[in-house]
Amino acid sequence: MRSFYSFPGAARLALGAFIVLCAILAALAFVLHQSRFKRDFSYWLNGAAALFALCQTLLCAAMFAQLQRSVFIGFIMAGDYVFLRYALFLATEVAFLCLCFKKKPLPCGFALAASILNLPIVEMRAGRAFPLFFFASLLILFFCAAFISLKIYRELSSQISRLSIKQAIDSLDTAILFYKKSGQILLQNEKMRELMVKMAGCVFYNGKIYFEEVLAKSEPCDDGSRLYRTSEGAWLFVKKEMRIRKNPVTLLTAADVTQLDYANSLLQEKNNELEARQMELKSFIENIEETCHIEELLKLKTETHDTIGQRLTLLLRCLRQGELPDKLSLSSILSDLADLSDLQRGPDETKAMPNPQAELDSLVESYRYAGVDISLNAALPPDKKISAALVLILREAAANAVIHGHADKVFAWLMCDKENCTMRITDNSAKITTVIKEGGGIFGMRRQLEKLGGKLFIDTAARFALIVTVPLQENEIQEEKQL
The model scores a pTM over 0.85: no
Q: What is the pLDDT of residue 292?
A: 67
- What is the model's pLDDT at position 472? 83
pLDDT at site 469:
92
E strands, 335-401, where?
373-376
pLDDT tens digits, 214-230: 888 888 888 888 988 88
Beta bridge partners of 251: 178, 240
Quickly list DSSP for 52-90.
Answer: HHHHHHHHHHHHHHHHHHHHHHT-PPP---HHHHHHHHH
The letter for the amino acid at 35 is: S
Strand order of the β-sheet with 373-376 is 373-376, 409-416, 420-427, 465-471, 455-459
Torsion 69-71-77-79 (CA) sign: positive
8 A C-beta contact, residue 419 and residue 472: yes
The pLDDT value recorded for residue 337 is 44
* Burial readout 169-191 (b: 16 or more C-beta within 10 A, e: otherwise): beeeeebbbbbbeebebeebbeb
pLDDT of residue 411: 92
- pLDDT < 50 positions in the chain: 334-351, 477, 480-481, 483
Give the number of other CB atoms < 10 A from CB of residue 199.
Answer: 19
Residue 422 pLDDT: 92
Assign 3-state DSSP to the chain and report helix, strand, coil percentages, each to 5.
65, 15, 20
Rg of the chain over CA atoms, in angstroms? 56
CB 83 within 8 A of CB 95: no
Helices (H) and strands (E) counted in the chain, each on its own, are: 16, 11
pLDDT attached to residue 302:
57
Q: Which residues contact 345 (CB under 8 A, 6 or more apart)?
A: none
Give yes or no for a contact between 32 and 156, defined as CB atoms under 8 angstroms apart.
yes
